[in-house]
Amino acid sequence: MSEVVLSARDVRKSYHIGGKELPVLQGVNMDLHQGEFVALQGASGSGKSTLLQLLGGLDRSSSGSILFDGSPLQIQTPSQSALFRGRHVGFIFQAYHLLPDLVALENVMLPAQVQRLSQTVIENRARDLLDKVGLSERMNHRPSELSGGEQQRVAIARALMNEPEIVLADEPTGNLDSVTELEIIKLLKHLHEESRLTLMVATHDEKVAEAAQRVVCLKDGQVC
């Protein structure tokens, strides 16, 4: 078994809405091993998106620990959290989250703009990634000029821009038709195998689960 890169230990997360406490995660324990492809499954409201946000350092747990290479994320300052995300984690979202006024190439380049690299190096890497996801002919198109599948390919390339160790994807096929859905699953699987990415995909899609090496199920805020 490969080494553990990301862990959840008795992770709990609650939100306070209208003066009431809404528990979402209720003692999650799990490990994510280097280079594995994991599907995170569960019904709507089971806490899949919340867990991904905590694992990626986008939010903090109410209690428990998220550990990256054995170090707890919850003790990081906001600037340290931002540095962790920029260096180690790539995110893919259901809604793509591309900036509408930027072309595909510029959207992919965005995560690297904070690095001390030349613009030429950044642009060449973005071009290589867009070529890798099959969009070499669409680099200079804005999101409104791209199909849903093409936008998600841009989002995948963007997630890989900083060469992250971990990629977290939240329902990446949720807005796609069945044909495009299969193309994106095939692409994610290929990128995982080619680059030995550590990949976790939150999904309702059985086809994603079939492509993954392991399935983690959430039910009532716990691993089932």
Domains along the chain? 4-97+159-223 (3.40.50.300)
Helices within 133-224 (DSSP H only) = 148-159, 178-195, 206-211
For range 190-201, the mean pLDDT: 90
Strand, helix or coil for residue 183: helix
| Helices and strands (DSSP H and E) totals, the chain | 7, 10
Task: Over range 204-224, report the average pLDDT.
Answer: 90
* pLDDT one-digit tens code per residue, 73-132: 988 888 888 888 988 999 999 899 999 999 999 999 999 987 777 899 999 999 999 999
pLDDT band at 43 (very low <50, low <70, confident <90, very high): confident
Per the prediction, the chain carries an average pLDDT of 92
Q: Find the distance separating the first CA and the last CA of the chain, reported in whole Å.
A: 22
pLDDT of residue 1: 59
Q: How confident is the model at residue 134 (pLDDT cuts 50, 70, 90)?
A: very high
Angle between the N-to-C axes of helices 178-195 and 148-159, in degrees from 0 to 180, rounded to the nearest 10? 20
